[in-house]
Amino acid sequence: MRMVGRCNRIGGDNIMDFAFSPEQDQLRAEVRSFVRKNPPERFPCQIQDEGYGFGGWSREYTRALGATGWLALTWPQKFGGLGRPLRDRFVLLDELAYHRAPQMAHFFNDSVGPSFLVHGTEEQRQRFLPAMARAELLFCTPMSEPNAGSDLLGLQTRAIPQGDGFVLRGQKVWSTGAFLSDWGMTLARTDPEAPRHQGITAFLVDLRSPGVTVRPIADGSGHLSFTEVFYDDVKVPGENVLGGINRGIPMMFDALEGDRLWARCVRASGSQRDLEDLIAYARQTDQGREALRHNPTLRHSLANMAVEIHVCRLLTYRAVCLIDQGKTLVHEASIMKTFADELGQRMAQVAMQLLGAHGLLAQESRRAPFNGRFAYQFVFRPGLTIAGGTSEIQRSTIATRGLGLPRG
């Protein structure tokens, strides 16, 4: 069962109504029609689907979506958007995820866009947002650093004032798709004497600028998606400061919300599609003298996945509903991210259990079930519990900010 809705409260503080609105039904129908006319498998992907749920990186598919106006679904019309409610963005992402449409190329535009709308100057909004809405500019968000990891406040990249701008010196790592992006929103320390949570500024950096070096990093499966980005005396004009000097923390939170909430909000629908594929495989495949569909252990595992997917969906709906009501997520995104990422790992484990020895075949093998998709996910998905903040950090947030427990 797939459902989403208006998120109206119908009783106590924790009871919500997820019934579809007519507008959402119409949007879903439009998305399905778009996917039928633009089958994802016919478009090239520069980065394959990593298993988050929002497909691979395809600049071509993102351009096709840009022609519909959906890339800026919730942005004001004067900046190239459609001015629709925030909940409609979830409906769009959710439906595209079920059809495995590539959304990764414009995902970071979705993360940076809200920062432009809230903290950007009018000139910055006019300069960047319409081009992003048309998929003419793709952003990445280089933030993590080799010596800081998940501790973003420990960043060491420096921005030194020079003339009417700054000079960036430092290194970022694990930025997804930076080698395919046009611009990066990066954080640098502008006041080294200030407390850790202060003295940080967000900069808009043209990745073709002199002094910028972008190197792809092969992940554990041998595929390229991550990068390291080096800033060697990169000149950034003052007009490319986003949000003001020493006021970069809100941009950090916007990007993290994008990673923890919007990157995981499609896990349920993506996993639902995976589950349907595995069930169909079990119905059609024999293992020795017994059909897979009759194996009680596998049946139990698949049924358990169906339950977990439903739980994940409800956690997602609750977080989306709270945002739709104008509320700030405190720990809800951490709950959703942790459950979604670990669900993804369990789904890959169940898939490998069901596929048996054939599941170990690499994608290059013509005998690999599902073209090796689940084998790749089995290798890659453990890293998702690190990306966007480790599960340990998320559980600490849930404990302290959600349950009110004291810090250890």
In this structure, the answer to whether residues 361 and 285 fall within a common structural domain is yes
CATH number of the domain residue 207 falls in: 2.40.110.10
By the 8 A CB rule, do 194 and 246 touch? yes
In this structure, the answer to whether residues 395 and 282 fall within a common structural domain is yes
Answer yes or no: is 25 within a domain: no
Q: What is the pLDDT of residue 11?
A: 44
Mean predicted confidence (pLDDT) in 366-372: 88
Answer yes or no: is 160 within a domain: yes
Closest Cα partner for 339 from 407, 265, 283, 403?
265
Answer yes or no: is 295 within a domain: yes
Least confident of 1-5, 249-253, 339-343, 398-402: 1-5
Spatial separation of the C-alpha atoms in residues 302 and 279, rounded to whole Å: 8
Spatial separation of the C-alpha atoms in residues 270 and 99, rounded to whole Å: 8
Closest Cα partner for 107 from 154, 56, 155?
56
By the 8 A CB rule, do 347 and 306 touch? no
Q: Binning pLDDT at 50, 70 and 90, where does residue 14 land? A: low
Spatial separation of the C-alpha atoms in residues 261 and 293, rounded to whole Å: 35
In this structure, the answer to whether residues 85 and 124 fall within a common structural domain is yes
In this structure, the answer to whether residues 223 and 105 fall within a common structural domain is no
Least confident of 134-138, 205-209, 257-261, 335-339: 257-261
CATH number of the domain residue 99 falls in: 1.10.540.10
Q: Is residue 224 scored above 80 in pLDDT?
A: yes
Q: What is the pLDDT of residue 309?
A: 97
Spatial separation of the C-alpha atoms in residues 286 and 327, rounded to whole Å: 51
- The total domain count for the chain is 3
pTM, rounded to two decimals: 0.88
Q: Binning pLDDT at 50, 70 and 90, where does residue 18 land? A: low
By the 8 A CB rule, do 211 and 166 touch? no
Residues 6+ apart with CB under 8 A from 306: 275
pLDDT, tens digit (0-9, with 9 covering 90-100), for 106-128: 988 988 998 999 999 999 999 99
Answer yes or no: is 307 within a domain: yes
In this structure, the answer to whether residues 223 and 329 fall within a common structural domain is no
In this structure, the answer to whether residues 127 and 162 fall within a common structural domain is no
Q: What is the three-class DSSP state of 37?
A: helix
Q: What is the pLDDT of residue 223?
A: 77
Q: How far is CA 386 from the centre of its chain?
A: 13
Q: Binning pLDDT at 50, 70 and 90, where does residue 382 land? A: confident
Q: What is the pLDDT of residue 53?
A: 74
Domain hosting residue 240, numbered range: 152-246
* 290: enclosing H helix or E strand: strand 290-291
In this structure, the answer to whether residues 127 and 164 fall within a common structural domain is no
Spatial separation of the C-alpha atoms in residues 396 and 390, rounded to whole Å: 10
Q: Is residue 287 scored above 80 in pLDDT?
A: no
CATH number of the domain residue 306 falls in: 1.20.140.10
Q: Binning pLDDT at 50, 70 and 90, where does residue 408 land? A: low
By the 8 A CB rule, do 333 and 320 touch? no
In this structure, the answer to whether residues 218 and 276 fall within a common structural domain is no
Mean predicted confidence (pLDDT) in 166-175: 95
